[in-house]
Amino acid sequence: MSTGPTPIGIIAQEYVQNFVQGEINEANSNAYANYQNVFSNWAIQQIGAPPAPPQLKVLNQALALQLFITYSNTAYQGAIGSQVALLDLSSAISTVQAAPIQSPPPAIPAPPSDPVGPPDGSFVTIGAQTYNTYYNVAGETPAQYPNGSKFTDSRGTFLHIENATPFGISSRWALIPSAAPATTFTTTT
């Protein structure tokens, strides 16, 4: 149990590490959280330039300790009742630019390696001939294989066909012979 006064160095260390650094950490946390919210709003709307990251405060603890000890020694040497200047730690605090948030690249799914699925039991008429149709595989999009695009694998050459229906656009693959005529397609089920 200590009976004497606490050395000023211990008081300075507790003040700088617990109070001053804690205040700076909280201010930085609030500033960055606000930046994340503003960035999220910007990312949704995509209007204008992205927000700039905040300036975060950095405390030079060694300099802050030195300033506190110097201040304490000076304050106790003054005359009783004289006005004591406030502790100024601004020279021990600097700022750094926070790292900007990087937007993830837009997710563009890779086209399926084989977009043609199993036979669907339907037929498509090309000219005077009727050919089997096949399902699309999951993950295929019209942007990857637009209407009329061809795909060849070990089963043969397939033609991508899209039909407008009252329920939306229907999309299938037709197995065509290698010398199919270029004509209008009609479908039957």
Model pLDDT for residues 84-142, shown as the tens digit of each residue: 678 888 899 999 999 998 877 766 666 667 888 888 888 877 778 788 888 888 777 77
Place of tokens 């595989």: 137
Domain end point (choices 46, 65, 97): 97
Kindly state whether residues 12 and 92 are assigned to the same domain: yes
pLDDT for the residue numbered 23: 93
Q: Report the C-alpha gap between 134 and 120 in whole angstroms.
A: 5
Is 65 within a domain? yes
pLDDT at 184 exceeding the cut of 60: no
pLDDT for the residue numbered 30: 94
Kindly state whether residues 22 and 82 are assigned to the same domain: yes
Is 73 within a domain? yes
Kindly state whether residues 16 and 46 are assigned to the same domain: yes
Is 24 within a domain? yes
Is 148 within a domain? yes
Q: How many CB atoms sit inside 10 A of residue 131's CB?
A: 19
Kindly state whether residues 133 and 83 are assigned to the same domain: no
Model pLDDT for residues 26-50, shown as the tens digit of each residue: 999 999 999 999 998 888 887 888 8
Instruction: Supply 51's token pair.
Output: 């927000």
How high is the mean pLDDT of the chain?
Answer: 81
Kindly state whether residues 91 and 121 are assigned to the same domain: no
Kindly state whether residues 135 and 183 are assigned to the same domain: yes
pLDDT at 189 exceeding the cut of 60: no
Is 107 within a domain? no
Kindly state whether residues 131 and 75 are assigned to the same domain: no
Kindly state whether residues 79 and 126 are assigned to the same domain: no
Q: How many CB atoms sit inside 10 A of residue 99's CB?
A: 9
Is 102 within a domain? no
pLDDT for the residue numbered 31: 94
Q: Report the C-alpha gap between 55 and 176 in whole angstroms.
A: 64
Instruction: Supply 7's token pair.
Output: 């050395």
- What is the number of domains present in the chain? 2
pLDDT at 176 exceeding the cut of 90: no
DSSP 24-86: HHHHHHHHHHHHHHHHHHHHHH--SSPPPPPEEEEE-HHHHHHHHHHHHHHHHHSPTTPPPPP
Kindly state whether residues 37 and 90 are assigned to the same domain: yes
In this structure, what are the phi and psi dihedrals at residue 165, rounded to the nearest 5 degrees?
-125, 170
pLDDT for the residue numbered 45: 81
pLDDT at 151 exceeding the cut of 80: yes
Is 154 within a domain? yes
- Read off the pTM: 0.49
Kindly state whether residues 124 and 82 are assigned to the same domain: no
What domain range includes position 46? 8-97
